[in-house]
Amino acid sequence: MTTLHGLVVAGALAFAAGVIGCAPKTGKSAAPTLTAVIDGEIVAADAIPWAAERPLTWKDFRGTPPVEPGDEGARTAYSLFYGARCTGRRFEFRVLAAVLPRLSWVTPTVLKNPALSARSLRHEQTHFNLSEVHARRMRKYFADLQQPCANSEVELNALAQRLVRAEATAQSSYDQETNYGRTPGKQAEWEAEATRQIESLAAYGDPVKSADAANIADHAKSADHTKSTKLTKATQSSF
């Protein structure tokens, strides 16, 4: 997020949507795979998952700015799509950081100013990179969790929500410490640190993570149950 002489150039709108459930081992009533569920959410939202080789461009901001955007010059919307499932003795966890193009927008004023446009987009890319850092931390946490299927669906969801809140806190700290992108030195530090953390968590770059069945308690149930949650928060940034 970014501003110039008080103009808010970009804002970020963050969502977290989760599916936590259990599935039967076998049987015709078996639920769709966790990957299919998460992929379906991504498609339905027309979302763009984070990828190192695919940085954001203003073309990804397909939403229409409000008639009176106020001080905002742009808004970036992104989400952490996540899910956990126990199937017999097998635990699966998946999380994807993705931008939501239909909810993201940029005004012509920003696009007409090359320097402001470049700085704003770079600041927003770092927000997106931070969301990927926390997606990888979530993968690591659940991969390291001992006997995850010994937890109830409510408990697993609470663990995931705690990590989602940590991501929100980091995003807020980023804006505060960089003064919404107006402090070049701090901005450069956060960009470098986000890149370093992504690289340090390279082992968790795969969005699908399954735990070793030998380390998981049997948590099979006779039917699939899922619980979805969504959290929303808005933040602002300035150049």
- Would you say residue 226 has pLDDT above 50? no
Average pLDDT, the chain: 78
- Would you say residue 44 has pLDDT above 80? yes
Least confident of 79-93, 178-192, 199-213: 199-213
Higher pLDDT, 173 or 28: 173
Residue 148 structure tokens: 């995850």
Question: What is the average per-residue pLDDT within 109-118?
Answer: 92
- Would you say residue 30 has pLDDT above 90? no
184-200 vs 114-144: helix crossing angle, rounded to 10: 30
What pLDDT band is residue 103 in, cutting at 50, 70 and 90?
Answer: very high
Alpha carbon 54 to its chain's center: 15
Q: What is the pLDDT of residue 39?
A: 92
Q: What is the pLDDT of residue 180?
A: 75
Q: What is the pLDDT of residue 89?
A: 73
Contact 10, 184 (CB under 8 A): no
Nearest to 120 by CA among 103, 105, 98, 132: 105
Residue ranges per structural domain of the chain? 2-237
The residue type found at 230 is: K
